[in-house]
Amino acid sequence: MSSPVVYDGHVYLHLRNQWFICIDLASGETKWTTQPFGRYWNMVAAGEKILALDERGELLLIRPIPRNSSCSIAARSAKNRPGLTSRSAERTSISVNSKV
C-alpha cells in the first residue's frame, strides 16, 4: 500500500489490492475506484497532478478529476531499456467505477 496523497479536499490511495481510489475528506465518501492497476506506487502531489512511480520504475503523471468521478494518465515515462531512449507522452484513460 502506498502513502496517500491529499489534493483539493480529496485523498488518493493506491491500495494493496492494486485499486486506485479517491475519497472525499469532508464526507468520507468514496468518489471512485479503478480496476486493479499496478502493484505499487510511490505518489506525490505536484500542483494539480499526481506523480506516481511504479514498481517497474515507470513514472505516471495522473490528472485527478474528483468532481467528474474520473482520472486519467496524462503522461508516462519511457520504458526502462538499455541505452538512451525516449518516448512521446501518451494519454491513457483508467477505467473508473463511479460510486456517485
**pLDDT tens across 50-96, in order?**
888 888 888 888 887 766 655 666 556 655 443 333 333 444 444 44
Give one word for 25, left, alpha or beta, with left for phi > 0 and alpha for psi -120 to 50: alpha
Closest among 74, 52, 64 to 96, alpha carbons compared:
64
Q: Using CA atoms, how far apart are residues 14 and 71, in angstroms rounded to an integer?
A: 13
Q: Which fold, 5-98?
A: Thrombin, subunit H (2.40.10)
Q: Considering the entire predicted model, what is its pTM? A: 0.68
Residue pair 78/27 in contact by the 8 Å Cβ criterion: no
Q: What are phi and psi of 68, to 5 degrees?
A: -95, 10
**pLDDT tens across 7-25, in order?**
889 999 999 998 888 899 9
Break the chain into its structural domains and give their ranges: 5-98
